[in-house]
A and B are shown apart, each in its own frame.
Chain A
Amino acid sequence: MSRSEAGEIRPLARHDGDPVFDEPWQAQALGLAFTLAERGVFTPAQWSQTLGAKHRQILARGAADNAQTYYEAVVSALEALICDSGKLSADLLDDRTRTWRRAYLNTPHGNPVLLSAGEEAR
Chain B
Amino acid sequence: MSADPQKETGDIHHELHSHLPPEPALRVKAMESLLVEKGMLDPATVDAWVEAYSEKIGPKCGAAIVARAWIDPDFKARLLENGTEAVKEMETAGWAVAHLRVIENTDDVHNLVVCTLCSCYPHAILGPPPNWYKMAAYRSRAVREPRVVLEEFGVTLPDDIDLRIWDSTSELRYLVLPQRPAGTEGWDEERLASIVTRNSMIGTHRDLDPSAGSA
Contact = CB atoms under 8 A, between A and B. Distances in A.
Interface of A: 2-4, 10-16, 18, 20-21, 23-25, 27-32, 34-39, 41, 43-45, 47-49, 51-52, 55-56, 59, 65-67, 70-72, 75, 78-79, 82, 87-88, 92-93, 96-97, 99-101, 104-105, 109, 115
A25 B131 contact: no
Contact of B31 (A15, A71, A93): A93
Interface of B: 16-35, 38, 40-41, 45-47, 49-50, 53-54, 58, 95, 97-98, 115, 117-120, 123, 127-128, 130-132, 134-138, 141, 149, 151-154, 156, 169-171, 199
Given A2-B151, A79-B31, A44 B135 contact: no
A54 to B, nearest CB: 9
Given A3-B151, A82-B31, A100 B26 contact: yes
A27 B128 CA distance: 9
A112 to B, nearest CB: 12
Contacts of A92: 34
B53 A109 contact: no
Contact of B135 (A29, A35, A66, A97): A66
Contact of A109 (B19, B38, B98): B19
Contact of A97 (B30, B128, B130): B30
A2 B35 CA distance: 50
